[in-house]
Chains A and B, each alone.
Chain A
């Protein structure tokens, strides 16, 4: 009896393991930044490189940090969603233009609309490394205490925004 039950049981366990692994998201790497203070940054403004923007400009209240670039297809895809979110006025969206051409980025915002309260241009990709960015678009949520509380890696959709971001923003708002 055992002679058959043990291999059959092992096989069933293997099948179950593979079955549940099928649906698992292996693309999204967990960010070690969640629950940690947001990395400080200081970048020239996209529209006026003589001025800088930095994390301290937005400290004290929750904000969203969106990493994008004109070379990034997913960013074009999510752009209308960002505009929609910006229009709702729940939270300011700060942009980081990652390894991009200034002229092209400005044209992009002019043509597609500008959802950002401010955009810093990270031409050398140094700030992106501090934030652990590995593929645009990436969207971070920072609470009023300056802690990273969420990261979404993939184009933003209204569904993700409602499901993941809105409850956290509400919570961050009431805590203060």
Chain B
């Protein structure tokens, strides 16, 4: 019996520990959607690899409260993100802004595909310019019993 009570108590403790803001922050679904988007866009600067939506450290909870209050005060998403970067820098954003210091970062995927494409084009065009009987030559020297 005592064990049962203990287990029930533990369950109660655990469920409250798992819950991060169980109740929705806003009654209006549109506001709630904006809120969800914003807190997933903001990094928990204390824990680094989590958004403030996923973290239950004190600072993340404080920042969520701040987002709720700013939204309730009628601030736009852009103003709220600006409020955060004014204090914590661009690092708090999961999507870094496009500016001179991040041009390389943003253009990297395109650049890498271009470099790969050019390299592939060079290799293919070189191979295709080789004489056709080159392959046959190679096959003969390998003496593959399957071809004979």
Chain A contact patch, size range: 10 to 19
Contact of A132 among B62, B66, B89 (CB under 8 A): B89
Q: Which A residues from 104 to 139 make CB contacts under 8 A with B?
A: 124-126, 128-132, 134-135
A125 x B59 contact (CB < 8 A): yes
Closest Cβ–Cβ distance, residue A65 to chain B (whole Å): 15
Instruction: Choose among B45, B46, B88 the residue with the greatest number of A CB atoms under 10 Å from its CB.
Output: B88
B62 x A29 contact (CB < 8 A): no
Closest Cβ–Cβ distance, residue A147 to chain B (whole Å): 15
B63 x A129 contact (CB < 8 A): yes
A124 vs B65: C-alpha distance when bound (angstroms)? 10
B144 CB-CB contact with A under 8 Å: no
Interface of A is mostly: loop
B59 x A32 contact (CB < 8 A): no
Interface residues of A (CB under 8 A from B): 29-33, 99, 124-126, 128-132, 134-135
With A129-B66, A134-B45 known to touch, is A29 a contact of B58 (CB < 8 Å)?
no
A134 vs B58: C-alpha distance when bound (angstroms)? 10
Closest Cβ–Cβ distance, residue B59 to chain A (whole Å): 6
B59 x A29 contact (CB < 8 A): no
A130 vs B66: C-alpha distance when bound (angstroms)? 11
**A32 (CB) vs chain B CBs: closest residue:** B89
Instruction: Choose among A29, A33, A128 the residue with the greatest number of B CB atoms under 10 Å from its CB.
Output: A29
**B62 (CB) vs chain A CBs: closest residue:** A125
Number of interface residues of B (CB under 8 A): 13
A129 x B46 contact (CB < 8 A): no
B76 CB-CB contact with A under 8 Å: no
A134 x B88 contact (CB < 8 A): yes
B85 x A29 contact (CB < 8 A): no
A29 x B45 contact (CB < 8 A): yes
B87 CB-CB contact with A under 8 Å: yes
**B45 (CB) vs chain A CBs: closest residue:** A134
**B66 (CB) vs chain A CBs: closest residue:** A129
With A124-B62, A125-B62 known to touch, is A130 a contact of B87 (CB < 8 Å)?
yes
A99 x B58 contact (CB < 8 A): yes
A30 x B89 contact (CB < 8 A): yes
Closest Cβ–Cβ distance, residue B79 to chain A (whole Å): 15
What residues on A are CB-neighbors of B63 within 8 Å? 129
Provide the B13-27 mask, 1 if CB < 8 A to any CB of A, else 0: 000000000000000
B86 CB-CB contact with A under 8 Å: yes
A68 vs B128: C-alpha distance when bound (angstroms)? 69
**26 pairs, A vs B, C-beta closer than 8 Å:** A29-B89, A29-B91, A30-B89, A31-B89, A32-B85, A32-B86, A32-B87, A32-B88, A32-B89, A33-B87, A99-B58, A125-B58, A126-B62, A126-B66, A128-B59, A128-B62, A129-B62, A129-B63, A129-B66, A129-B87, A130-B87, A131-B87, A132-B87, A132-B88, A134-B59, A135-B46
